Structure 1
Amino acid sequence: MLAIALALGAGLGWGASDFLGGLKSRSRPVPSVLLISQATALVLLTITTAVRGVGPPDPAFLVQAAVAGLGETVGIAALYRGLAVGTMSIVAPVAAAAPLIPLLAGLVAGQVPGPLQFAGLVLTALGLVIASRRPATGTGDRPLTSILYGLLAALGFGTFFLSMHHAGQADTGWALLTARLTTVIVIASAVVLTRHHVTVRRSDLPVLASIGVLIVAADAQYAVASMLGPVSVAAVLGSLHTVVTIVLARIVLKERLTRPQMIGMGVVLAGVLALSLT
């Protein structure tokens, strides 16, 4: 039960941070949004690790954490860009395919799903396809662009789910710090190489900092949840962040969902429920 509660908490935190990040990316360059929010998260994790006073684990676990950080960087960048130039209610459901990666990894390792888990997989995949369909309106919608960014985000987040599970088995704190350090290094390198000028208003800083805080809290909850219970269940429940993003987009931005999208989201939730019961 605790693992489920933590995974749901992670989904809530990620959903709120995704929405805020995507919203800010509509008025500010994505690299600027990423750099400041991720730097905030890194500072928090550095302080926490220093206070704990625990030495680093075996380098093999740190490599896994670095891979997790790289995957999350790709996922966040793709998601923020997709939310900025596409339609939130398309990008978010497609990004929900991320749990398929740890599930498929389990299959390769010989973890054959039971009937209920298999049904959940089928329902989730089918629901994502249905939810991703949105008729062109000729008013600036970019369904294909939204789907592609969503798929890239799913690949990145799925890699994070799997790698963080392995890295966190040694020490959660060091796994989170290494992953975040990797993220900041990659983003900072991209900013330097592209000669991007970081531009934000002072009024943006509280929101960008809060994104970093939310990410740290969500990552920590997921890391613990994936160790207390099956990583596949933690990943699926954590992916409910897409539902949070869609709800916030509907409430704040007044984005409308078509009937097929609503049906698709219902099928996705049914699949998520089936997976969580395995």
Structure 2
Amino acid sequence: MIGATLALGSAACYGVADVVGGLLARRADFRAVALLGQVGGLGCALVAALLLPAPDVRPADLAWGALSGAGTGAAMVFLYRGIARGAMSVVVPVSAVGGVALPVVAGVVLLGDRPSAMAWTGIAIVLPALWLVSRSRPDGRDPVRAALQDGLVASIGIGVQYLALAQAGDESGAWPVAAGRVTAVLAIAAPVGRLRLPDARTAGWAAANGAVAAAALVLYLEATREQLTVVAVVLASLYPVVPVLAGVTWLRERLSAAQGAGLAGAATAVLLLTLA
């Protein structure tokens, strides 16, 4: 139960970060938003690393964290680029479903995870549920092919982020997350060249949003220490539900039939994975 709660907390934080980051990417250079977010995330991760117990931090733990951060850097750049192009309805579901599939397959095939029958049922429900809940009504204006490419690359980055971070030792605290934020900053900053920096207010929001995303990774890392990696990944990957619920409750948007079915499926999956 503790692991499921931590993973769902991670999903909530990532969902909020997704909404805010997507809005910021439409107002400013998406690369600057991604970079400033990782800088803010580094600050949050360092605070968490200093506060959480870490009796045995090994170089391998930091290396896994660094690899996770490389995945984060790639994921955020392509995710924000896709959203900045106005193709959220394509990028989000592709990145979410792909980000679940890679760690689940690797966890079962390579790491020897053996979910129960109930957990497998929840995992099977999650993939179509995430796709349905993330879909919006098509208006014919989205650059679909480019958005698919952005979503696919982002999904690989998200999968690497989750899978690599889960390999860090249980006694390494949050230091792997901090190492990952350093790598993410370098991965984004190295190829971008000259950036158009946003105004101070937007930059502050981007940094604060990155801190929320880093908190999501800390919660996810703790979740993997309480339960199977594949279950933690699936629950943490429910973050697309947050933008949909925000739209319904705050913006009074109407759900499509597909989104309603997806939310019902996601709720069922959460129940099954929590009880498994």
Q: One fold, TM greater than 0.5?
A: yes
Residue 184 of structure 1 deviates from its aligned partner by 0.5
Match of 2:4 in 1: 4
Q: Residues 4 and 232 of structure 2 are in contact (CA less than 8 Å); yes or no, is this contact kept in structure 1?
A: yes
Measure, in 1, the Cα distance between the counterparts of 2:207 and 2:145.
32
Residue 26 of structure 1 deviates from its aligned partner by 0.5
Cα 1:255–1:87 change in 2 (3 A) is farther
Note the residue ranges of structure 2 that are not aligned, 5 or more in a row: none
State the secondary structure of the residue aligned to 1:219.
helix
Measure, in 2, the Cα distance between the counterparts of 1:250 and 1:40.
29
State the secondary structure of the residue aligned to 1:206.
helix
> CA RMSD of the aligned region, Å?
2.9
Cα 1:172–1:198 change in 2 (3 A) is farther
Q: Residues 79 and 150 of structure 2 are in contact (CA less than 8 Å); yes or no, is this contact kept in structure 1?
A: yes
Residue 69 of structure 1 deviates from its aligned partner by 0.7
1:34-49 mapped onto 2 (5 Å cutoff): 34-46=34-46, 49=49
Bigger mean CA offset, 178-187 vs 225-234: 225-234
Cα 1:187–1:133 change in 2 (3 A) is closer
Measure, in 2, the Cα distance between the counterparts of 1:62 and 1:29.
30
Measure, in 1, the Cα distance between the counterparts of 2:53 and 2:6.
25
Match of 1:260 in 2: 258
Residue 17 of structure 1 deviates from its aligned partner by 0.9
Q: Residues 126 and 266 of structure 2 are in contact (CA less than 8 Å); yes or no, is this contact kept in structure 1?
A: yes
Measure, in 2, the Cα distance between the counterparts of 1:164 and 1:104.
16
Q: Residues 10 and 222 of structure 1 are in contact (CA less than 8 Å); yes or no, is this contact kept in structure 2?
A: yes
Measure, in 1, the Cα distance between the counterparts of 2:152 and 2:273.
21
Amino acid at match of 2:126: T
Q: Percent identity?
A: 31
1:221-260 mapped onto 2 (5 Å cutoff): 221-249=219-247, 257-260=255-258
Cα 1:99–1:200 change in 2 (3 A) is same
Amino acid at match of 2:261: I
Note the residue ranges of structure 1 that are not aligned, 5 or more in a row: none
Amino acid at match of 2:160: T
TM-score by length of 1: 0.84
Measure, in 1, the Cα distance between the counterparts of 2:179 and 2:19.
25
Bigger mean CA offset, 165-174 vs 256-265: 256-265
